[in-house]
Amino acid sequence: MMSLARRTLLLLAAPLLGALALACQKAQARQVAGGNPERGKTAIATYGCGSCHTIPGVSGAHGKVGPPLTDWSQRVYIAGEVPNSTDYLVRWLEMPQAIEPNTAMPNLRVTEGDARDIAAYLYSLR
């Protein structure tokens, strides 16, 4: 049987490990290879994402058709389908139907470069 001291230690360590894992995940999610957040912000305006989404920092982006993209770096899933990772987000932006065939978000033919820039901007929202 486990001693009380050991059990107490484990109980204390668990939340710390959880917090550490979350911190790593968040730090990881924010790095988008080849992505530039400033260019991403411009691309979001060019593609008109704001007509459907509320996106902090992008003027006129107050759409209510899709979910708000506020605090995006803290979001756990994309469209409730796949984990919120850089790779999945880039794929979602390039072709949402590849992840959710019946989604209402249209395929806007976002290029991979633009998708990386947009992802970099979205992950800057915390």
Three-class secondary structure assignment of the chain: CCCHHHHHHHHHHHHHHHHHHHHHHHHHHCCCCCCCHHHHHHHHHHHCHHHCCECCCCCCCECCCCCCCCCHHHCCEECCCEECCHHHHHHHHHCHHHCCCCCCCCCCCCCHHHHHHHHHHHHCCC
Residue number with CB closer to ligand HEC (53 or 91): 53
According to the binding rule CB under 6 A, does residue 66 interact with ligand HEC?
A: yes
CB of 10 to ligand HEC, least distance (A): 35
- Of the residues 61, 69, 90, 120, which one makes contact with ligand HEC according to CB under 6 A: 69
According to the binding rule CB under 6 A, does residue 53 interact with ligand HEC?
A: yes
Closest CA to 44 of 35, 53, 34, 32: 53
Stretch that binds ligand HEC, among 10-18, 19-27, 28-36, 65-73 (CB under 6 A): 65-73
- Contacts of ligand HEC in 94-123 (CB under 6 A): 100, 103-106, 108, 110, 118
| Chain residues that interact with ligand HEC, rule: CB under 6 A | 44, 47-49, 51-53, 65-67, 69, 75, 78-80, 93, 100, 103-106, 108, 110, 118
